[in-house]
Structure 1
């Protein structure tokens, strides 16, 4: 990998690290809120339900893309992100300030979608969603989910290629479902948009999914060994994510790659290694 490509890849890795650290910082407060996605966090069927929801949402976006309804795609994504931000801020602030800040962030995203605005919002949303699902599922359902999503991501990128089509359209309408990492200081996402020669793009899901395992491991497992309050299985999942990302970065080149096989695979292997070192049975 050339030196020109190394710096954006480093920033991409730092974005993932920031999401995971922020997720762990948010976990105590969001866990105390008792808001959960699934009623039974131990049920493996949670993973299947999540996949069904992903397929429905993806199908909706693809249909809207085919019909040329970019306004519907953009509006739906912005509404989902607004609700995610409001959910996170509502744990820490009264509902009026939380609502005002959430609206301000979304207006900034709509009227000034520069790459650093997109990335800042992406970190907050990714961390919030990671915690929400991480405290709603124990580690076994999460591992099942990550395994299925890794296979689905590979098929949708390399075989059917519908995820590549969807990503290209999301970038084209500047919908905040991704991180934007400039290759040069002169790059402007508002002006140049989806110019692949000037920026790298990373889907929020690539940061969220391994982070769900990090949160779940730190939330649901007994802590026998920890570092700075973070359980070894969670630390293992974090380190495994970073190793998986580095393998992805070295092998990707300039063409679209399925990130989840590398990131999810690394997170699961790191998690199991952390369980082994701490003497915790995760299942």
Structure 2
């Protein structure tokens, strides 16, 4: 909403103007992780763990290099204006492929190449290829915010177990700590996370959850500008900033998909590798896994409070990962698992 409309809504309902949008952001975050937990057994059965030795802490370094290289390539493309179309093709292709993985995991129809194959993670049957192709076309021709959000939940839910099954407790704890530090550096020091988020917004790729304050809002508007000309965000959670240069920027709340994927990995790893009774059979989740999920929601509440109270850009992963780690350890203690064991020490 614009500033004027948002103020009118708040006077009429007594509810802060950004509340509904932020509830939507929290719901998308939770849905991605919950669905990821629900798909874990199926993804494991398909042989799609990212790393075959989940106890190897070196996996953290490999994963970090992959993310840094991808980030560097995208930031360079956005900064210098070369290769943006190729970046969009790559992102939509990845999203479409992971959507096919989720479809096969949910329905049992179709095939995906397993680990050990040169085509690992790619659809290899007519049905799964068709799902990926249809997803790509829809995301390419109709990049509306709700289409992107649904797609991000679905393919993010496929990515979470693929990642989480590749990291045991100790490596994933190390990853969460290291990546929270990197996120803080990227936002508060180098500022390149803002460039990345702005570029992804221009491409209208489903890598950022976007929830508007009004259903009249459209990402397909030619004047849409996710970051408001680089106003004041980091691609994690937006402030309800009415001083942004772009009217569109004041109308949305947003959360980077990575801010759900990274914390969600610990919930999957806890359920897969810690010897504790399952407390939610539908999710195959034990107490540490549920603790990680709840702790992430607590971290989200802290992040939203920070965004509203402190002006400027804010990194999402430091509060989110802190909440996830705290909830995970509390869940482990509740399940009778020593903290040292939960930390992989």
TM-score, with structure 2 as normaliser: 0.79
- Asked whether the equivalents of residues 241 and 267 of structure 1 are also in contact (C-alpha less than 8 Å), the reply is yes
Report which of the two structures shows the higher radius of gyration computed on alpha carbons.
2
Point out the more displaced range, 192-201 or 107-116: 192-201
Point out the more displaced range, 82-91 or 58-67: 82-91
SS, match of residue 4 in structure 1 = coil
Point out the more displaced range, 273-282 or 220-229: 220-229
SS, match of residue 249 in structure 2 = coil
Quote the offset at 1:65 in angstroms. Answer: 1.5
Matched, 1:56 2:56: no
Match of 1:208 among 249, 261, 271: 261
Task: Map Cα deviations across residues 120-149 of structure 1 (whole Å, 9 max, x no partner).
Answer: 000011111101011111111111111111
As a proportion of its length, which structure holds more helix?
1
Task: Map Cα deviations across residues 209-262 of structure 1 (whole Å, 9 max, x no partner).
Answer: 111111111111112362444200001000100000001001113743210111
Quote the offset at 1:205 in angstroms. Answer: 0.2
Q: CA RMSD in A?
A: 1.6
For 1:130 and 1:139, locate their aligned partners in 2 and report how far apart those are by CA, in whole Å: 15
For 1:83 and 1:227, locate their aligned partners in 2 and report how far apart those are by CA, in whole Å: 29
Task: Map Cα deviations across residues 187-206 of structure 1 (whole Å, 9 max, x no partner).
Answer: 11111352211112211101
Give the aligned partner of residue 279 of structure 1: 336
For 2:135 and 2:313, locate their aligned partners in 1 and report how far apart those are by CA, in whole Å: 29
Give the aligned partner of residue 233 of structure 2: none
For 1:35 and 1:243, locate their aligned partners in 2 and report how far apart those are by CA, in whole Å: 30
Matched, 1:159 2:189: yes
Point out the more displaced range, 172-181 or 150-159: 172-181
For 1:109 and 1:242, locate their aligned partners in 2 and report how far apart those are by CA, in whole Å: 29
Match of 2:45 among 18, 28, 32: 32
Matched, 1:147 2:177: yes
Matched, 1:248 2:303: yes
The number of equivalent residue pairs is 283
Matched, 1:85 2:99: yes
Match of 1:73 among 76, 84, 87: 87
Match of 2:168 among 108, 131, 138: 138
Moved over 3 A (4+): none
- Asked whether the equivalents of residues 184 and 318 of structure 2 are also in contact (C-alpha less than 8 Å), the reply is yes
For 2:86 and 2:148, locate their aligned partners in 1 and report how far apart those are by CA, in whole Å: 19
SS, match of residue 181 in structure 1 = strand
For 1:255 and 1:101, locate their aligned partners in 2 and report how far apart those are by CA, in whole Å: 41
Match of 1:179 among 185, 200, 209: 209
Give the aligned partner of residue 126 of structure 2: 96
SS, match of residue 17 in structure 2 = helix
For 2:225 and 2:140, locate their aligned partners in 1 and report how far apart those are by CA, in whole Å: 14
Q: Structure 1: which 5+ runs fail to align?
A: none
- Asked whether the equivalents of residues 236 and 271 of structure 1 are also in contact (C-alpha less than 8 Å), the reply is yes
Q: Structure 2: which 5+ runs fail to align?
A: 1-9, 111-124, 227-247
Equivalent residues in 2 for 1:205-244, closer than 5 Å: 205-224=258-277, 226-228=279-281, 229-244=284-299
For 1:193 and 1:101, locate their aligned partners in 2 and report how far apart those are by CA, in whole Å: 30
For 1:164 and 1:130, locate their aligned partners in 2 and report how far apart those are by CA, in whole Å: 24
Quote the offset at 1:86 in angstroms. Answer: 2.5
